[in-house]
Structure 1
Amino acid sequence: MRVPRIYQPGPLAAGQTLSLEDDAANHVGRVLRMQPDQTLILFNGEGSQYPATILSADKRQVQVRIDQQQQQDIESPLDLHLGQVISRGDKMEFTIQKAVELGVASITPLWSERCGVKLSGDRLDKKIRQWQKIATAACEQCGRNRVPTVYPVTKLNDWMAQPFDGLKLNLHPRAQYSINTLPQPVTALRLLIGPEGGLSPEEIDGAAEQGFTDILLGPRVLRTETAALTAITALQVRFGDLG
């Protein structure tokens, strides 16, 4: 059986005894039904992981003792920031989950002219918290010890205008360049993915004005979630740590 990995924010150290946060305790005690003397791995997002032993467990509280600290940083050498226009239904959640598994460093959900999602106020705040939890859970699953930040939703034009010292890419089906023709080396990159209906002509022009390079993935038009994950994979193969 695979040893469960649990995100536990705050300082962690070998020999420390602590109670897991409510969500983690519920998962360990109620969902996994783990018992005293079983082991799990904690991480707090700072790069290390901490094998720990359960001292007590019930459906409300789980107490553990940290046995040791292990230095294990499997982050990609490519600092990839995904700017993803919000997609409908569970597509956005799927994109965030898989993007984290593929090694993105950060994600900004975006509003654009053709974005078909309407969120505001408390509903929007709740959604952002949910997206961050999805990113954290993806790290638990894939072994990452650093949790990518899901930033607050930003207007596309504002995000494109943010200062950035690196390569900026925009997927465009009529672009002249592919990922394989991009120059090397690239260590920091921003990737813009539009909505289901694509970016408007004005937004495409705006991206070019802000220094984004148009690239294409191939002859077929991909759905927004397929385009994001395909592009991330190709970029990690060329500039990151996917073989």
Structure 2
Amino acid sequence: MLKIKNLSKSFNAETENEINLFNNFNLTIEKNKCTAIIGPNGCGKSTLLNMICGSIAADRGQIYLNNNDISKLKEEQRSNNIGRVFQDPSMGVSPSLTILENMALADKKGEKFALKRLIKRNNIDKYKDLLMTLDLGLEDKLDTKVKFLSGGQRQSLSLIMAAMKHPDLLLLDEHTAALDPKTSNVIMKKTKELIKKYSMTTIMISHNMKDALEYSDRVIMLDKGEIVLDKPSREVSEKELMGIYIAKLNEFVA
């Protein structure tokens, strides 16, 4: 379970461009559930994820993961229990390394290791089995450098790597936004399978209303750092979401 208490964050403090994005923000994410977070650009979606994983420091407040206060931990310390897939297919992988080397790196997450001893041959079959679940043939391309893969293949690999150690929390930051519709659909189905298989608590940022409803248990809409909708996904329609979303966009334009 993830619990956020009285979280506050501002940018450009004490200047004419000061932005108070979050002010005493509170949120509880249920364990083993997928929560979709939606909202217009600038509403705070990615900032919230960045504060959870530690890449951006909150001004005030606490973040608890499974009742452990992680608020003061550095990003690399939090990453031992948090997996993340980014919008850019290249950010979750090392393009200059092979598929096998990337898998081995993900397998060593949170451990000390030497590069010369990175790959253990008795783990290769395990990596192949994980890659086979993607149905992309990557298990037969272990020695291929990731930079030669398509965007969809990279994102699929990134997803498998993020879930490999069964993190307490999986963060999906618009992880299909850079993909074509067909590939996006494949990635979303694989995402759902992995979340269910490993019972991972998941936060998924999405601009796709249909995906937000279809692949989550709960949907939250943010606007300027505040929750304006919070419902079980089965109790809200895509039409309702779009209506609120467009209304918020019109407010911004006005």
Shorter-chain TM range is under 0.3
User: Of the two, which has the highest radius of gyration?
Assistant: 1
- Higher relative contact order structure (alpha carbons within 8 Å, sequence separation ≥ 6): 2
Between structures 1 and 2, the one with greater helix share = 2
Q: TM-score, normalised by structure 2?
A: 0.26
TM-score by length of 1: 0.26
